[in-house]
Structure 1
Amino acid sequence: MLADGMRLGGQLKGTAQVAVGWLAANTAVVGFQEMATDPTYRGAVLAFTYPEVGNVGVTDAFSESPRVQAAALVVKVLSEYRSHYRAERDLEDLLREGGVPCLCGVDTRGVAVHLREAGEMAAAVAPADADPDDLLQRLASFGRPGVPPTDTVRLDGDGPQ
């Protein structure tokens, strides 16, 4: 559900829980793992407009941080297969490990157009039995997210920090 009341039906995968965050639409064709683990998307509901997401699988070496940073994902199709020769697991496995829900079966291109026309807003991803009034109340009180300056992401390596 979006803050303006627009409802997005679909199937919940990953973890069945409520997640509220600022809606970010991404139009990239590849890089879903990198975007989901990128600290700049921390707490965001990340909608991918490419029709199928997760088809190459997940390789830990490609992550931008040690865990999924997005609060939730919204996709048209979450692939059940992985095709990259280095893939270690499926995207849904990564989401489950991080306790992150993924709403599937959504016209994400339509969501991107709606977002462009209506302006930025918060979104909630929730199980079907969640109370719509409660979700709208959460969305109405949701402030613009930010990464507090005390939060840091530490990566191993010899390069500049």
Structure 2
Amino acid sequence: MTTSTRGASKTPAVLVLEDGRIFRGRAYGAVGETFGEAVFSTGMTGYQETLTDPSYHKQVVVMTAPHVGNTGVNDEDPESKRIWVSGYVVRDPARVPSNWRSQRSLDDELTEQGVVGISGIDTRALTRHLRERGAMRVGIFSGAAVAEDAALLTRVKEAPEMQGSSLYGEVATKEAYVVPAIGPDGGAVPIGAAKFTVAAVDLGIKGMTPHRMAERGIEVHVLPATATAEDVYAVNPDGVFFSNGPGDPAAADGPVAVMRTVLERGTPLFGICFGNQILGRALGFGTYKLKYGHRGINQPVQDRTTGKVEVTAHNHGFAVDAPLDQVSETPFGRAEVSHVCLNDRVVEGLRLLDRPAFSVQYHPEAAAGPHDAAYLFDRFVSLMAAQGAQRA
């Protein structure tokens, strides 16, 4: 829950972690109170995309970059229609934005959308604390919400935990919509005239994802998280996509059941982030919560099918528990780990060897970057093309 009123940056604020660690600073954005899971993001750019990524729902994001807000906010870069983070933590916010695309300040945007934040704290110390103790519940309090430390800590401990939370339905579209394919001239291809049709199950999809597919001649039918297998196949898809999203994959039985139907029918399948965890569960693997997760735009991942190392964008607090160095037998044939994080050996991708299905844990559509993994959309196109050639 977030409550807020418009306020000034001189307003005192306090950040309280569930283990009792306290940081004191100044209000940034809206004044009031907010609760969520404290996580840190290592990206030095792309803060607007981070704020509007639905995968950050119910999370309080700590920026490790010390200076945030330099380029302001515009109406072209958001990944969705609103800011999703529960709270925002920065060390040194820009006093005045300076960029030719800027339309307003980040502080004003946070205030306008009721996002409670805090500035002027030692974010390096906070990040080190989270790395040592792990992601945990947190509260930010400013203005009239500031009270005795013990009372604030009690309220933080009463907030829900991320593990076990089903959140993807709260951020997904309620109505299906279509993103038309983009033609060679840069214009939209008429509905029904695209090279391929993809049914995309929205579990918290980012706007750039269907755009990346549209650039490749794909007409994308974005479906609600509650979509059934019948809904998916009603659009006569050449491929099916499962998006990123927030929460614990162990609480996503509905999407897992739909994916198993897709795998049984042998339709080309691609999953990103939460979609990778859904594929892991559909194949019979478990999932688990990482100590502090991967978030930022500088994570090294190796594509084990090519040996290539990519710098990638991440936002995940859960991972798939699959064996790294062996082929696994699943109800849908053989599967293997296709990508691995070089920092900690966490599974970053899966692929089936006997069916046209694969997934990655990171974000190949990344905006503002990096774009090392954009080829994965081409790999999806190749799977659909090969499937179409077999039918012909």
Gaps of 5+ in 1: none
User: What is aligned with 1:51?
Assistant: 66
Gaps of 5+ in 2: 1-15, 181-209, 211-219, 223-392
1:130 maps to 2:147: yes
CA offset digits 1:71-122 (Å, max 9, x no partner): 1101001112112211111101110111011200011111111001112211
Distance 2:129 2:44 in 1: 20
User: What is aligned with 1:72?
Assistant: 87
Specify whether residues 115 and 48 from structure 1 end up closer, same or farther in structure 2 by C-alpha distance, changes over 3 A only: same
Kept in 2: contact 1:10–1:103 (CA 8 A): yes
Paired letter, 1:144: E
Distance 2:159 2:92 in 1: 28
Structure 1 runs of 4+ aligned residues shifted over 3 Å read 152-157
What's the TM-score once normalised by structure 1's chain length? 0.91
Q: Residue 18 of structure 1 aligns to a residue in which SS?
A: strand
Shift of 1:147: 5.1
Question: What is the percentage of aligned positions where both structures have the same residue?
Answer: 32
Specify whether residues 64 and 109 from structure 1 end up closer, same or farther in structure 2 by C-alpha distance, changes over 3 A only: same
User: What is aligned with 2:49?
Assistant: 34
CA offset digits 1:35-83 (Å, max 9, x no partner): 1111010121110010100100111210111111111101001112112
Kept in 1: contact 2:33–2:142 (CA 8 A): yes
Specify whether residues 153 and 109 from structure 1 end up closer, same or farther in structure 2 by C-alpha distance, changes over 3 A only: same
Distance 2:171 2:138 in 1: 25
More relative contact order in 1 or in 2 (CA 8 Å, sep 6+)? Answer: 1
User: What is aligned with 1:116?
Assistant: 131
Match for 1:4 among 13, 19, 28? Answer: 19
What's the TM-score once normalised by structure 2's chain length? 0.39
Q: Residue 125 of structure 1 aligns to a residue in which SS?
A: strand
Distance 1:72 1:39 in 2: 13
Counting strand residues as a fraction of each chain, which structure ranks higher? 2
What is the RMSD computed on CA atoms of the aligned residues?
1.8
Looking at CA atoms only, which structure, 1 or 2, has the larger radius of gyration?
Answer: 2
Paired letter, 1:83: S
Paired letter, 1:125: I
1:148 maps to 2:148: no
Q: Which moved more, 1:43-52 or 1:130-139?
A: 130-139
Kept in 1: contact 2:54–2:171 (CA 8 A): no
Match for 2:30 among 2, 5, 15? Answer: 15
